[in-house]
Amino acid sequence: MIIPNKNIKMMQGNIACAEAALAAGCNFFAGYPITPSSEIAEVLSKKLPIIGGNFIQMEDEIAAMGAVIGASLGGAKSLTATSGPGFSLKQENIGFAIMAETPTVIVNVQRGGPSTGLPTLSAQADVMQSRWGTHGDHSIIVICPSSVEETYYMTIKAFNLSEKYRTPVILLTDEIIGHLTEKIEIPDSSKLEIINRIKPDMNQKEYLPYKITDSLVPPMANFGEGYRYHVTGLAHDETGFPTNDPEKTTEMLMRLYNKIEKHRDDIVEVEEYNTDDMDTLIIAYGSTSRSAKRAIVNATKEGYKVGLLSLKTIWPFAEKEIENMAKKVDRIIVPEMNLGQIAHEVEWATRRAKPIIKINHINGEPITPNEILAYIKQGK
C-alpha cells in the first residue's frame, strides 16, 4: 500500500467535466435532465451555489441553451450539458450563439439515436450534427475526449477556445467516457491556463461589437458595462444592427467562418501512437480510440505494423494531418460508433488515395479491440 496523494482521484467522466468547468471559471449552468449527461448537472447544482454561481434547471433544452447565451452576454462563463435528443433541440440557439459571437460551452454526451434511441448506451453518431446541426453555413469548434483525464483538460480547453474565439464550443463526449470512472490527477489550479474574452478598451461611441479586426475576433463587452450595443441573430454589420447588404453580409459571415478556419492550427489537436513504422493507420476518436490502441498493442505483439491517429479535435477537421499520415501507409482503418461519418471525411481528406476500411457499430455496444484486430489481420 502507498500513502494516498489527495490530488489523485477515481472520477467519472461526467464529474470530471463538471469539476473542470469550475476550474475553468464556469459560474453559470443551465440544463435539463437527460441521460447520460445528468451527472454534470447534478454536480454543478451542488457546487455552483457554494461559489455564489448560478445553477438553474430550465423548462426544456431550448430554454437551457437560451439561458447560457443570455448569461454569457451578462458576463458569465456558461455551460450546458445534454445528449442526442436535447442536442437536437438546442440547435437553433447554437446557431444564434455562432451568429451573435457569444462564448459558451455545450457538452453532448452522445447516446444511441435517432430519436430516443438507446439512452443508456453509447454512440458517436452526432459527429455530423455537431458540425451541421444548426441551419446556415458556418464553422464550429468540436473537441472530443477519450478518457476521464482528457475530459478534464478538454473541458477547460473548450472554455478557453470559446472565450478566445467568441464562439460556442462543443465538447463531444460519449456515454462510455461520460460514465467511465478512472484515475485522474487533479492539477493545481495555478498551473492551468485560463483564457478570458478580450474586453473593449475604447469609449462607448467608438465600440463596434462586430468589428473586422486582424485577429478576426472583435472585443466583447458584457451587458451593463456601459457599451450599449445591439445583439441579433439577423445578418448584421460591424455595428451589430441588421443589414441585407450583400457585401456586408458576406464580409461578416466570412469573418465568422475564417476566425475558426484560419486559426485551425491553434485549434486542431491530434495524437499519434506507434506511427513511426507502420503500413496500416487507424484513425479513431473518443472512446473508440482506446479500443484501437489496445488492438494495436495486441497486433504489434503478433508482428503487424499499425499506428493510430487519434482525433482530439473533430471540427475543424484534421485534414492536413490525415493527408500527411495517409502517405505513409497502405490502408486506413476507421472504427466509429456510427455508419461512417468520419470515414467519409477521411476519404475526402485523402482523396481516396488509400483503401479505407470502415468498422461501424450502431447498436450501443463499443467496438472491441478484437474486432479491430480481425480487420488488421485481414489481407496482411
Partner 1 sequence: MDYLNYLRQDKMPHIWCDGCGHGIILKSILRVVDQLGWEKNNIALVSGIGCSGRTPGYVDFNTLHTTHGRAISFATGLKLANPKLHVIVVSGDGDATAIGGNHFIHAARRNLDINLIVFNNNIYGMTGGQCSPTTKTTKKATTTPYGNPDSAFDISKLAEAAGASYVARSTTYHVAKLDKYIKDSFLTKGFSVVEAYSSCPTSYGKMNKETGKTGLQMLMYQKDNTVPLQKAQKMTQAQLEGKFITGVFVEKDKPDYTENYAKVIQTAKQQ
Partner 2 sequence: MSFRYEIRLSGSGGQGLILVGKVLAEAAAIYEGLNATQSQSYGPEARGGASRSEVIISDGDIDYPKAENIDVLLALTQEACEKYVTELKDDGVLIVDSQMVKNIPEGKFQVVKIPIIQSASERLGKFIVANIIALGVIVKISEVVSIEAVKHAIKSRVPKGTEEINIKAFNEGITLAATWQNENL
Near partner 1 by CB under 8 A: residue from 9, 42, 88, 92:
92
How far is C-alpha 86 from the chain's CA centre? 16
Could you give the CA distance from residue 150 to residue 139 in angstroms, rounded to a whole number? Answer: 24
Residue 44: partners with Cβ closer than 8 Å, 6 or more residues away: 18, 21, 22, 26, 29, 55, 79
Burial degree of 7 (CB within 10 A; 0-12, 13-18, 19+): exposed
Site for partner 1 in 16-55 (CB under 8 A): 28, 30, 46, 49-50, 52, 54
| Cβ proximity of 41 and 54 under 8 Å | no
User: 66 vs 316, which CB is nearer to partner 1?
Assistant: 66
Question: Rule CB under 8 A: which residues touch partner 2?
Answer: 1-2, 4, 8-10, 35-36, 119-120, 175-176, 179-183, 287, 290-291, 293-294, 297, 366, 368-370
User: 60 vs 266, which CB is nearer to partner 1?
Assistant: 60
Q: Which residues of 53-63 are buried (b: 16+ CB within 10 A; e: fewer)?
A: bbbbebeebbb
Q: Is 231 in the site for partner 1 (CB under 8 A)?
A: yes
- Cell digits for 232? 441579433
In sequence order, what DSSP letters do the residues of 197-220 get, joined into one string?
A: PPPP-S-GGG--TT---TTS----
Near partner 1 by CB under 8 A: residue from 230, 327, 352, 377:
230
Residues in the chain: 380
User: 26 vs 144, which CB is nearer to partner 1?
Assistant: 26
User: 162 vs 291, which CB is nearer to partner 2?
Assistant: 291
Near partner 1 by CB under 8 A: residue from 9, 58, 186, 235:
58
Residue 54's binding partner among partner 1, partner 2, none (Cβ under 5 to 8 angstroms by kind) is partner 1
* Count of residues that bind partner 1 according to CB under 8 A: 44
Binding part of the chain for partner 1, among 225-233, 280-288, 336-344, 357-365 by CB under 8 A, reads 225-233
Residue 179's binding partner among partner 2, partner 1, none (Cβ under 5 to 8 angstroms by kind) is partner 2
Helix (H) or strand (E) holding 119: strand 118-122
User: 84 vs 200, which CB is nearer to partner 2?
Assistant: 84
Query: Helix, strand, or coil here: 157?
Result: helix
CB of 51 to partner 2, least distance (A): 25
Residue 245's binding partner among partner 1, partner 2, none (Cβ under 5 to 8 angstroms by kind) is none
CB of 125 to partner 2, least distance (A): 18
Could you give the CA distance from residue 136 to residue 362 in angstroms, rounded to a whole number? Answer: 28
Whole-Å CA distances, 111 to 10, 18, 97, 168, 320: 23, 19, 24, 21, 29
Residues binding partner 1 (CB under 8 A):
28, 30, 46, 49-50, 52, 54, 56, 58-60, 62-76, 78, 92-93, 96, 222-226, 228-234, 241-242
